[in-house]
Structure 1
């Protein structure tokens, strides 16, 4: 055998051996992920436990809502999802030991106290991991003179073993958070805002007295969102009256006129005449629904330009923001509580289930887009449209009647899917491109067109009213959520 051929054969065998080694000896799955090493209790991020961390701890105890979620997460040293007295004790022990965890451990054992192993204070976590804010379980000095008069009587959370434990802990933490927000905002509230808050506070007190814990928690979350994000200052009277009109639409759904239409005793006209009356009384607008024109002027260049801008903000949403919003919807406990308020089919007639979850989603989208409402609405619109093919593959008859099966991340009921959520966001966003009056006019014309296309049937009139309730919720909140308040509330 000639030398060149031997070399060629050896090379071939070497390549085969190399490929075999690569195939069977090297790992076959390579996952690109970014992680970081976190020291629990290192509140200032200087990679040691020091008096500077205790200073931040003192700030946190004095004003729990003013410390960021990231710092609060690192303060949960025992990782029980509560900020409690043990966390405080552990951090003080670490600092007292000069930042040496083994010394702190030995000192604790000498006192016959339990103490985590030093390695347990270090967490190696992926950057994409969602880190929910632990619940506040420390004593709260403001409870004695809180606007929530019952706050002082609430027991502090001690454990999270049962569903009721979880609710009790969340209620206590949310009540403290609201009290902090109320104290910051109370002196600057407008009279209209005070009246609005008084009605909600009365409802919260009634729920607490009745022991309705789940609804109490959601009512407190709603109050927190109002305190931390909403302002009607510098808003027109028109915007402030949108919710009055919304509540009157709910009354229309309960009205004798609607019941007569539903029973076939009258046609649809008296019902929409009632809507027109509320439009005139609440907003000073005159409407004749029988003569209402089409929703869009197809000859208006401005409409096309606004549509192009809307599409730009949707298509330019960053993938990292998109993923962060999905992680929020999948893991944020406050959102998961609110989105869990569902009803049996056709029982959420007045669209009570959608608003609070959408407020939380929009707030998170605003945080991710640094307070840009147009970007936030575009990001949220794309999120609402997420297709879940595996859910679509489940026969509709097999799905629970209380879930929005188009998208498990969104609020709603089976008959709505993501529809009312999108109404909330779309017409809220339209207010960023048009005046609130123009946005309302477009909403009414669009819903009237759908009603006509549905041949004036009762289900179509019901959805006319329900869609408008969703539209008005979105319009009011998108306009009155103040980006400056959102970005001023720590989250990072």
Structure 2
């Protein structure tokens, strides 16, 4: 009996091994969706209705979702170019990819095989919008008067890619600007005109990378910002930031860092700008330490903050991380860095944070509190003990990827957290309360770090990041987002 049972176990084990290696099983848990390129109305056909939708898409390639733009790049080169349009027009005219291919080949022209119009897109793939590489009608009326020159200067290689992206971003801005222009506030127009002049100067100087980022900033302003209903306090915050930036380069600050002027003079200058720009009276020398979260009234705010952080799902993190790893515009913005400690004015940081926050808003369906919570989790500072945990056990985080964080590497996630946290506090409390708390915290850090010039520089840079966050988190209008 025992011997028979042993034989049975051996046979069962052999059958299990045989089954494991021969029976079809799901070895890879990958989820994908099948995309039919050129089928803009998703009716599984290519016809005149798709042709009409293609024409509407080409007229405004940025009005719809990225999935629509993805369907237009049928030659898979990352561009929306004349060949894409020609392939799709031939496909729509024939209604059948085999017929379209046969007709093209008869005329001596290449045409994709039918299966090339289908793509499996896994959940882990980031859908990138193709870069516009066709002459767009908006070029002629663009306030960026050099766009035609950009298009004609296009070539291959790295430089050519930059020029293609400048042209594409310029068209995107032009279309967004045309929609907003009739209702622009005078302040918005003055601000926009100054940026347009800077873009023209950058083009004339051949500073193409800086030009691309400046146009991207203009696009973000046109697509997401509005001063209508904006509190005057928030409207003034960028003036305060610019005064702080100028202070870092002033003779006073040079004397201070050289030991020829006391810290109190620098603090008094900051107080002066706070009063002139923000109508905020502060005494930085004698300012009290920030509020204590151990007090019940303050802890209640922290509980709400933590609640919105916990609404971030693994899917949310995956989407934000894919954006940070692959989005062309974000990577261009985050790539601009300077040599170590050479970004005192904090010029490399704000645009990628704006893009990151915009994506978080899209992920969280326009809920700013939830978006702040998502970004807070994504750019958090990993504690030392986290290093002892295997990497594959850690949740995904932008902060774990140094090259994905906005700004210079030596800043790590610090300035990003400042931007997001004090922008978020503006929503929970008010912009005024947020800035007052920020100043109290920064000046307290300055004292605790020995009142050194290095600590003063970080106090000012942190305050600049806080002001950027307050301005953009409050001013971005979720209703304007696509």
TM-score, with normalisation over the residues of structure 1? 0.92
State the match for 2:57 in structure 1.
60
Where 1:177 maps in the other structure, the secondary structure is helix
- List gaps (5 residues or longer) in structure 2: 389-398
Equivalent position of 2:99 in the other structure: 103
* CA gap 1:138/1:370 in 2 versus in 1, 3 angstroms: same
* 2:258 counterpart of 1:259: no
How far apart in 2 are the matches of 1:156 and 1:60? 23
Moved over 3 A (4+): 4-7, 22-29, 156-159, 297-302, 386-389
Q: Which of 450, 457, 460 is residue 455 of structure 1 equivalent to? A: 450
Residues 116-135 of structure 1 correspond to what in structure 2 (within 5 A)?
116-135=112-131
Q: Secondary structure of 1:36's partner?
A: strand
Q: Give the CA deviation at 1:211.
A: 1.0
User: Hey, what does 1:145 align to over in structure 2?
Assistant: 141
Alignment of 1:61-76 (within 5 A): 61-76=58-73
Within the alignment, does 1:211 sit opposite 2:206 as a pair?
yes
Alpha-carbon spacing, 1:27–1:445, altered in 2? closer, same or farther (3 Å): farther
CA distance in 2, matches of 1:405, 1:113: 49
Determine if the alignment matches structure 1 residue 12 to structure 2 residue 6: no
Please report how far the alpha carbon of residue 260 of structure 1 lies from its aligned counterpart in structure 2 after TM superposition: 1.2
Q: Which moved more, 1:63-72 or 1:198-207?
A: 63-72
TM-score, normalised with respect to structure 2: 0.93
How many angstroms apart in 1 are the aligned matches of 2:383 and 2:209?
29
User: Aligned runs of 1:395-434 on 2, under 5 Å?
Assistant: 407-434=402-429
SS at match of 1:248: helix
CA distance in 2, matches of 1:153, 1:414: 35
Please report how far the alpha carbon of residue 147 of structure 1 lies from its aligned counterpart in structure 2 after TM superposition: 1.0
Per-residue deviation, residues 305-324 of structure 1 (Å, max 9, x unmatched): 11101011112211101100
CA deviations 1:317-361 (Å, max 9, x no partner) are 111011000000000000000000001011000111110000000
The partner residue of 1:200 within 160, 173, 195 is 195
Correspondence 1:172 to 2:167: yes
Higher mean C-alpha deviation, range 468-477 or range 248-257: 248-257
| 8 Å CA contact 1:137, 1:158 repeated in 2 | no
Q: 1:42: which partner in 2?
A: 39
Q: Is the CA contact (8 Å cut-off) linking 1:75 and 1:83 kept in structure 2?
A: yes
**Matches of 1:254 and 1:444 in 2, distance apart?**
20
CA 1:31/1:184 → structure 2, altered by over 3 Å: closer, same or farther?
same
Once the two structures are TM-superposed, the CA of residue 467 in structure 1 deviates from its matched residue by: 0.4
2:391 corresponds in structure 1 to none
Say what the alpha-carbon RMSD is for the aligned residues. 2.2
Number of equivalent positions:
472
SS at match of 2:40: coil
Decide whether aligned partners of structure 1 residues 287 and 357 sit closer, same or farther in structure 2, where only a CA change above 3 A counts: same
- 2:236 pairs with 1:236: no
Q: Which region of structure 1 is more displaced relative to structure 2, 367-376 or 25-34? A: 25-34
Question: Structure 1 273/41 Cα, relative in aligned 2: closer, same or farther at 3 Å?
Answer: same
Deviation per CA, 1:210-262, whole angstroms, max 9, x where unpaired? Answer: 11110000001000000000011101211100000000001111112211110
- Paired residue for 2:82? 85
Distance 2:379 2:275 in 1: 34
Contact 1:137-1:156 within 8 A present in 2 as well? no
2:435 paired with 1:440? yes
